[in-house]
Amino acid sequence: MSEHFELLVRGGRCVTPAGVVAADVGVRGGKIAALGALSGATAERTLDAKGLTVLPGVIDSQVHFREPGLEHKEDLATGTASAALGGVTTIFEMPNTKPPTTTQAALEDKLARARGRAWVDHAFFVGAAAENAGELARLELLPGVAGVKVFMGSSTGSLLVANDEVLRAVLRSGRRRVAVHAEDEPRLVERAALTREPGATAALHPVWRDEETALRATRRLLAAARQTGRRVHVLHVTTEEELEELAHAREHATVEVTPQHLSLAAPECYEQLGTLAQMNPPLRGRRHQEALWRAVESGLVDVLGSDHAPHTLEEKARPYPDSPSGLPGVQTLLPLMLDHVHAGRLSLLRLVDLLCHGPARVYGLAAKGRLVLGYDADLTLVALDRQHTLANAEMATRVGYTPFHGRRVTGWPVVTVVRGQVVMTEGELLGAPVGAPARFTETLEQAR
C-alpha cells in the first residue's frame, strides 16, 4: 500500500543535516513525515520542486512590526506578509512598540492581534526595563515568548537599560538567553552634539554612534554576563573590535549580524541613500564589513537577522538627525544572502546554518530549523540561479520601499510552506493567514 500525505514536495534538492541530497518531502499533520525517494506516494497536494532547492523554513529572529501603536509604519499582517513573500516561515518580533511589550498583558495583546492575521509563525520578545526586572524570570516562560530583549542604547521607542546595576538585575532574573542591542548610552549622550552641527547629514551617523560606542557596551555586557552567569545574544554586531572581544566569550555570548551590514558600506551608502541608510547600530566602512564577512566564514557569527525596522518615507525625509533610524528588510533577507552565495561569499550550507539552524539553536526553538523527520514542515523552496531585480513595488511592507531598490540578485524564494501549508508561490500569497505562536524547548510545559 502506497503512503499518502497531505503535502508531497517532489524532485527537489533538500538541504539536510547530511548535506544537499535529492529527496522528496512528505508532510502529515504539519510535520515532516518522510524524506527520501517517495515515487509511489500519493498526496492531497503535490509541489513540483524539480530544479529547486528545498531549505528548512527561514527564521528571521529580529523584526520590528510596530504593532501596537505605530501601525502607520507596519503591522503584524503586512510584516508577516513581507516575511512569507521573502521565504521566511518564522519571525521573532521586538518589544519597542507603543506601549512596549513589558508586561504579560502587553504580550497577550500581541498574541491576540496576531491570531488570524499572521502569515507565518511568530514569537514576541519581552522588553527589559528597571521597572520589570524582577518579573522577567516569570515573563520569559510565558507561551509565545522568544526571550528577553535589552536596549543598552536608545533607539526607536522608550525602552532603555542604560546602567550596569539595572543590566545585572535584568540578567539575574531568569535563565533563557537574552538578546541585547549593545550601544553605550552615556557615550551617545556625550557625543549627541555632533549631530547638531551645521550641515549635518546621515553620513555623520557612524561618527556619532562610533566604534567605541559599540565596543564599550559590548564589553560592559560581557562583564555582566560573566558576573551573573547569564547567556546573551549580541544583536547586529558591526565592528571588528567587538568581534575580537566576542571571540573570547563564546561560553556566554552568541553573535548576530544583518544583511545590511554585509551588503552596504560607508561612505557610499550615505552618498547614495542618505537617511534611507540610517540604522542603529550604523552602517560602517569597508574595514568593519570585511571583518563581519571573516566572522561569517570562521563560524563566529551564529545568526543572520534582518532587523526589519520600517519608517515611512515622509519620516525618513526629515533632516538628520530628526530622521528615524531603521530599514525594512524581512522580505529581502533571503534574496540578498542567496546572491552572496551565488557570488561565493559563503556556501549554501553556511547560509542555512545562519538562517535556520542558528536561530533555532540560539533561542531553543522547538522542532524548527532543520529538514528532519518529526520537525515542523516549514519549507522554503528557492531557485538558486534565478535573477531578479528588487523593486519597491513588490514590497508588502506598509512603507512600500526597500533600500535595495534596483539591485539585481541571483537566487530567489519561489515557495513558502508553513507547517505543511503553502502560503506563497511565485510572489503571491495563498489562502488565509495560518501563522501560530512558535514553541521553545525551555517553555514547552507552559505552552500546553
Taking alpha carbons only, the member of 228, 217, 126 closest to residue 171 is: 228
* Rounded Cα gap, residues 409 and 279, in angstroms: 23
Alpha-carbon torsion angle 131, 134, 136, 139, nearest 10? -100
Task: Give bridge partners of residue 151 from the DSSP assignment.
Answer: 181
Q: Looking at the domain covering 57-363, what would its CATH class be? A: alpha beta
* pLDDT score at 447: 52
β-pairing, 379-389 with 53-56?
antiparallel
Question: Grid coordinates 542591542 are at which residue?
Answer: 181
Which one of 2.30.40.10, 3.90.120.10, 3.40.1160.10, 3.40.50.300 gives the CATH number of domain 4-54+374-385+398-441? 2.30.40.10
**Interatomic CA distance for residues 312 and 355, integer angstroms:** 27
Q: Which residues are catalytic?
A: 307
Phi-psi region of 412 (alpha: psi -120 to 50; beta: other; left: phi over 0): beta
Q: How much is the pTM? A: 0.97
pLDDT at 159: 83
Q: What is the pLDDT of residues 15-68, one digit of tens each?
A: 999 999 999 999 999 999 999 999 999 999 999 999 999 999 999 999 999 999
Under-50 pLDDT residues of the chain: none
Per-residue DSSP letters for 282-325?
A: PP--HHHHHHHHHHHHHT---EE---B----HHHHTSPTTSSPP
Position 127 scores a pLDDT of 98
What pLDDT, on the 0 to 100 scale, is given for residue 444? 87
- If one counts every other C-beta atom within 10 angstroms of the C-beta of residue 231, the result is 17
Instruction: Give the residue extent of every domain in the chain.
Output: 4-54+374-385+398-441, 57-363
pLDDT (tens digit, 9 = 90+) per residue, 395-447?
A: 999 999 999 999 999 999 999 999 999 999 999 999 999 999 999 999 986 65
